[in-house]
Amino acid sequence: MKILLTGAAGFIGSHLTEHLLSMGHTVIGYDNFDNQYDPVRKHINIHFLTTHPNFTFIQNDIRDQASLTDVLRQYRCDTVVHLAARTGVRDSVREPALCIDVNVNGTLSLLEAMRLTKVRRLVMASSSSVYGNSSAVPFREDDDANLPLSPYAMSKRSAELLAHTYHHLHGFDVACLRFFTVYGPRQRPEMAISRFTEKMYGGQPITIYGDGSTSRNYTYIYDTIMGISRSINHLKGFDLLNIGGSGAVKLSELVGIIEQAVGRKAVIDWQPNQPGDVTLTSADLHRANNRIGYLPSVQIEEGISRFVSWYRQTVLCS
């Protein structure tokens, strides 16, 4: 396949690029190196891939429809994987207009470029945040997802609806993948596991919002990449799929697992709950298993151990 991958230099995107190239695909990476976190990290993410004969990288913004159209046409792409986004619930509360512009208008720009070039295969990243504070646990893809708690959640749900519109009007094959807190090597620095690990090694307090009872379904990067890869191979019609880990973990338990891997006790700075945060995410994976054969394989203890080992060798020793 010839795959246009937006957000190719990010955490998930760089891992996916590496995997797709290893499977023999041609990848056209597309990323604008925005400043939501240090762009140097993104350059490092893909630097070792830039000499691969089947990889081409283009630096630009997904809101540039003309550029996307030219890229799809020039490289004769047959599939698009759309990961580029303005990420994070708290950042979206601070900058809602930017979040919605990138995530909604950027997705529309991509869909229009695909329509104009007759590319009809799309796998795109959504988020577990679309479920809000659903009382139905675990979260199923056919649950109501119309009460978002943050601009980020709203933008991701809006992108899903846009994709469905293009499926209906123009015959796109679409899989919207609802990711559940992805972690592992190269994870974004503002995310809890990265931040906690950094603070513990530095002997600094970690900030916990709430009483530590909130729970998340954490998904190791390998499992997420397998979910995306399987979705590409089984792409047909329109689908919403949860791509999550094997179960929900309380924040207080997560801290304990990281403490054990790091070998240090955390000093905790307790703060009130943050606006837009949900209390629980929990993935029902039956549909993903039935449709694409997805099952997570990395348990949280093993995943944290791998992440901390990578952090120790790559970040602390750099």
User: Is 80 exceeded by the pLDDT of residue 276?
Assistant: no
Token pair, residue 124, equals 């795109």
Contact 174, 124 (CB under 8 A): yes
pLDDT reported for residue 278: 83
> How far apart, in Å, are the Cα atoms of 113 and each of 70, 102, 116?
8, 15, 5
pLDDT reported for residue 247: 87
Average pLDDT, stretch 48-56?
95
Whole-prediction pTM: 0.96
User: Is 70 exceeded by the pLDDT of residue 318?
Assistant: no
Interstrand relation of 173-179 and 121-127 (parallel, antiparallel or unpaired): parallel
DSSP H or E stretch at residue 117: helix 106-117
CB atoms within 10 A of CB 29: 24
Residue recorded with tokens 């905790």: 268
Q: Is 289 left (phi over 0), alpha (psi -120 to 50) or beta?
A: alpha
218 catalytically annotated? no
Domain boundaries, the chain: 2-316
Residue recorded with tokens 């919403």: 240
Per-residue pLDDT tens for 169-208?
999 999 999 999 999 999 999 999 999 999 999 999 999 9
pLDDT reported for residue 316: 79
Q: What is the dihedral of CA 162, 115, 290, 223, to 10 degrees?
A: -80
Per-residue pLDDT tens for 221-241?
999 999 999 999 999 999 999
Residue recorded with tokens 């056919």: 142
Per-residue pLDDT tens for 67-126?
999 999 999 999 999 999 999 888 999 999 999 999 999 999 999 999 999 999 999 999
pLDDT reported for residue 312: 93
Question: Annotated catalytic residue: which of 30, 37, 131, 152?
Answer: 152
Distance CA 246, CA 265 (A): 26
Question: Does the domain made of 2-316 have the CATH classification 1.10.260.40?
Answer: no
Q: Is the peptide bond before 138 cis (omega within 30 degrees of 0)?
A: yes
> How far apart, in Å, are the Cα atoms of 37 and each of 10, 92, 116, 250, 290?
10, 14, 33, 26, 37
pLDDT reported for residue 13: 98
